Structure 1
Amino acid sequence: MHQNQSEVNTRSMKRTSKSMKPISKTAHFFFLLLFLHCHSESDHTALIYHHCTNSQTPTSTSTSEALSSLFKSLITHSTNSTFHTQITALNGIPISGEYQCRGDMSSTACQTCVTQLGILSNRLCAGARNARVQLRGCYMRYETDGEVEEEVKNWELVHKECGQIKGYAYDEGTGARNGALWAVEEGIVRSGNGFWEARNEGVRAVAQCERALFGCDCAECVGRAAEVAQEDCGGALSADVYLNGCYLSYTTYTYPSGYKKNGSSGRVAAIVLGGLASIGLALILLMFFKSCGKKDDD
């Protein structure tokens, strides 16, 4: 009797080990492809730049407490608004501050972004009287020596990043980009909220103005940012330009035909990988359902 029970247990363990065998290398490869695809989405909390103006005198405890109170208030407002500005006074210390999230972000993503702004402001600009921290999806600035400046018509270049430059034909690559930049510049005038996204022949462009800019002033700032992208970044496949008043970015997600002249088959590879990833996901789901079916039969 005891021996028969042992045989039953042994067969059960073998059956379990078969159903729990490691995922094949092929499945691992497709999981990796899917992860890379998801991870390629822009990280809203990625740090772009920070500017801190330090005082000659150490920051007092009262100022630190006022800053902490300001950060908490901004984070609270970020749950239902993509923009907020206010003046906080604590123990006679007035501090003005504001944040703004990208126009296409959800309230949850905005709150996460603004929360990270508070953390980074404390870490990167500890003791600073004035500071601005720019993340991929939001920015925050504060001043302890007066109200936040609302006159932002000088369009000063604050930060720029040019992506990888490829040797495709100028007209083929930059023509699509310039079309997308023109579309976003034209569209932002009638956006109503200072945010616009446009796509043109495989190029995606996004622009947003700070809340102090509206209408033609906003379009003028975005137009200046487009000029910087065209002149300074040349044939780059992507660029991010931040001015004092607005930002603009573009990304090439479908390479122009001239891209192949360098011997690259990037577009074909992207299509192939996309198809393989879809097939791989179907295979993985099929394996999963088969495994579930076997367990139900047992």
Structure 2
Amino acid sequence: MLVQFVRRFSKMSLPTKIKPLLFLWCHLLICTFLFTSLPLAMGTASDDYTSLVFNGCSKQMFPNNVYPENLKPLMNSLVSNSSLETFLAATATSGDGTNGINGLYQCRGDLSPAECNTCIRKIPPLVSQLCGETNVAVRVQLRGCYLRYEIADSKPFDATEFLFKRCEVNQARAAGLGEKRDTAFGILENDVKNSTGGVGGFYTGGYDTVNISGQCEGTLVNQDCVACLQSASQKAKTECGDSVTGQIYLYKCSISYKSTNSSNANANGVPYSRKVGAGSGNYPAEMVVAIIVGSIIGLILLGAVVIYIIKECRS
């Protein structure tokens, strides 16, 4: 848009003294725009919520050819609804109510509906690529969402069944990291326990230099969510040890933590925790500062150019 404006501006008939100055102002405005938008683009790229974390494919196959036919409308329904809500469970059956398949998806609580839809739309092709379309149970987990399905008469899984871990290879050398992480886990669990949200939920929190997040499946009430997150945090302690980052995925909840190099705004042992709604993700402080500084520079340049033009016109 700015480039088009400059091209149109070059064809305008303006006083000789003013035109070069306005050209300079336009170029400065473009530079300011790039300066403020680049941090946002970098921030978006740094959190690729559509990247694959893990997948699970049952070794058992559908007992007949009717199940695959029921799977197609189920997947279509889950994908289409992901632009409206961040969690949905559904069932597809034959006309007589047999050959049922249960499926659901869930997006990370800080994703907007549009981002949720983008994330979920990535999964059906991955199901075909990684598992095929004849397995009786499948789960594909991306960074920002997951989708799973299984035949209706399959044996239910325990909510705390361990699925996957990802731990930072380098071990932490910061003093007291384990204690800080465990304190952050406790704060998060307490926040879930005191939540009035009812079921599911995405929570973020931290303690000193440790940031943490956790999410429960939308079918879990608060007390079951707390129990699941407690199991996940215990698994993080045993599986990840003193790693600076860790991600633990259980069947119906997940938890992740990261130790920063320096204390955040809630340092000096000050705990914090909150339940996050859809699309409420925050930009890091560095991005906010860059945007503010760039905007101020742009306003100063605009004011200076306007004042100069007024003086030139009067003379």
Decide: shared fold, TM above 0.5: yes
Structure 1 position 159, deviation (Å): 1.1
User: Given the alignment of the two structures, is residue 197 of structure 1 paired with residue 201 of structure 2, yes or no?
Assistant: no
Tell me if structure 2 keeps the 8 A contact 1:168–1:256.
no
Structure 1 position 25, deviation (Å): 8.4
Aligned partners of 1:119, 1:287: CA distance in 2, in Å?
50
> What SS is found at the alignment partner of 1:169?
coil
Tell me if structure 2 keeps the 8 A contact 1:99–1:114.
yes
| Structure-1 residue corresponding to 2:93 | 89
Aligned partners of 1:157, 1:244: CA distance in 2, in Å?
6
Aligned partners of 2:221, 2:113: CA distance in 1, in Å?
23
Choose which of 127, 132, 141 in structure 1 pairs with 2:133.
127
Of 19-28 and 127-136, deviating more is 19-28
> What SS is found at the alignment partner of 1:194?
strand
Give the CA RMSD over aligned residues.
4.1
> What SS is found at the alignment partner of 1:210?
strand
Structure 1 position 201, deviation (Å): 1.9
Aligned partners of 2:261, 2:307: CA distance in 1, in Å?
41
Tell me if structure 2 keeps the 8 A contact 1:151–1:212.
no
Choose which of 160, 167, 173 in structure 2 pairs with 1:162.
167
User: Given the alignment of the two structures, is residue 137 of structure 1 paired with residue 144 of structure 2, yes or no?
Assistant: yes
From the superposition, tell whether residues 105 and 276 of structure 1 become closer, same or farther in structure 2 (CA, over 3 Å).
closer
> What SS is found at the alignment partner of 1:126?
coil
> What SS is found at the alignment partner of 1:49?
strand
Structure 1 position 179, deviation (Å): 1.3
Structure 1 position 207, deviation (Å): 1.6
From the superposition, tell whether residues 58 and 167 of structure 1 become closer, same or farther in structure 2 (CA, over 3 Å).
same
Structure 1 position 226, deviation (Å): 0.9
Structure 1 position 287, deviation (Å): 4.2
> What SS is found at the alignment partner of 2:181?
helix
From the superposition, tell whether residues 14 and 141 of structure 1 become closer, same or farther in structure 2 (CA, over 3 Å).
same
Tell me if structure 2 keeps the 8 A contact 1:87–1:147.
no
1:242-281 to structure 2, matched below 5 A, reads 242-253=249-260, 255-256=262-263, 278-281=292-295
Tell me if structure 1 keeps the 8 A contact 2:127–2:133.
no
Unpaired stretches in structure 2, ≥5 consecutive residues: 1-12, 265-283
From the superposition, tell whether residues 98 and 19 of structure 1 become closer, same or farther in structure 2 (CA, over 3 Å).
same
Structure 1 position 291, deviation (Å): 6.6
Aligned partners of 2:262, 2:173: CA distance in 1, in Å?
9
| Structure-1 residue corresponding to 2:242 | 235
Quick one: which amino acid aligns to residue 160 of structure 1? K
Aligned partners of 2:149, 2:183: CA distance in 1, in Å?
36
> What SS is found at the alignment partner of 2:148?
strand
Aligned partners of 2:240, 2:299: CA distance in 1, in Å?
43
Identity value in percent: 27
| Structure-2 residue corresponding to 1:53 | 58
Tell me if structure 1 keeps the 8 A contact 2:140–2:147.
yes
Aligned partners of 2:286, 2:86: CA distance in 1, in Å?
38
Quick one: which amino acid aligns to residue 51 of structure 1? G
- What is the TM-score normalised by the length of structure 1? 0.71
Question: Deviations for 1:228-286, whole angstroms, at most 9, x for unmatched residues?
Answer: 222332333322110122111123356259xxxxxxxxxxxx98897566534532454
Q: Which has the higher relative contact order, 1 or 2, with Cα contacts under 8 A spaced 6 or more apart?
A: 2
